[in-house]
A = this chain, B = another copy of it.
Amino acid sequence: MKGESTIPNAPVIGVFDSGVGGLTVAKELKRWLPNVPLIYFGDTARTPYGTKAPSTIVEFAKEDTEFLLEHGANIIVVACHSAASTAKEALRAQFQYPIFEVVTPSVEVAARVTRNGRIGVIGTRATVESNVYARELEKLSPNIVVIGQPCPLLVPLVEEGWLDRRETKMILKKYLHPLRLQNIDTLVLGCTHYPMLKPLIQKKMGKRVRIVDPSEEVARMVKAYIDSKGLLRTHPSPSVKDTYYFSDLGVVTQEVIRRFIREPIEVRKASP
């Protein structure tokens, strides 16, 4: 442990989200770090977070983090965009573990890859109206212009599994049209559900537009962290089993989970 009590030597990643959307983050983490055990907590009983008061979001995020730590996690990934932007500082102040979240790496990548400085952000109404991406991007570079576009119907469409339906394509076209007119060259998927629609979004926006997928960006960042500590080499075979916890696990939620992750996973009901 080399005196750093906060750095795990057998990494166990804990991911939390306000619901099922964070499963796209879990999927990317398993793709980049297949041998690192993962504990997921989806707060399906209290979803969504985005529309709630900041103090409530912070309180929920703390509870979710504690839940993951109690279940053996020692690296925390905040998959929920609302919790990431609202509770990041509070979590880092309270918990002595590495805490990653989806917003920062996406903002950094977007600022780096844009050529013309015109970046689109799509998300729920709550995320787009919170202006978190615009604020963070403008901090990095004052010349960046951020064009936000709320796409509130995409979450229900994804949860229904309507990933390639004509209706979804029409609605997506309508949502993305203003961004096309604004000549953006980079588009941030500001909602955990949207990576499920990435091929469709890329097609509608054209090859010229670079899509930034926060699920992938945060997974790469966690991998870089684990690599940098040499943690993978010393502990190749994990003893903790991947487990996916949800605070509500009704029939409907179970169906939606299956749409996000197709291979069999261990799903349990639990609350912080």
Point out residues on A near B: beta carbons under 8 Å. Answer: 44-46, 50-53, 56, 124-126, 129, 152-153, 155-157, 159-160, 162, 166-167, 170-171, 174, 248, 250-253, 255
Contact A248 B156 (CB under 8 A): no
What DSSP secondary structure best describes chain A's contact surface?
helix
Query: With A and B bound together, what is the CA distance between A129 and B255 in angstroms?
Result: 12
CB A35 to nearest CB in B, in angstroms, measures 34
CB A5 to nearest CB in B, in angstroms, measures 37
Closest partner residue, chain B, to A125 (CB atom): B252
Residues of B near A170 (CB, < 8 A) are 166-167, 170
Q: Which of B53, B129, B171, B248 contacts A52 (CB 8 A)?
A: B248
CB A56 to nearest CB in B, in angstroms, measures 8
Query: With A and B bound together, what is the CA distance between A251 and B53 in angstroms?
Result: 11
**Known: A167-B170, A170-B167. Is A51-B250 also a contact (CB below 8 A)?**
yes
Contact A167 B171 (CB under 8 A): yes
Closest partner residue, chain B, to A155 (CB atom): B156
17 further A-B contacts with Cβ under 8 Å, apart from A51-B248, A155-B156, are A44-B51, A46-B46, A51-B250, A51-B253, A52-B250, A53-B248, A124-B252, A125-B251, A126-B252, A129-B252, A152-B160, A153-B160, A153-B162, A156-B156, A167-B167, A167-B171, A170-B170
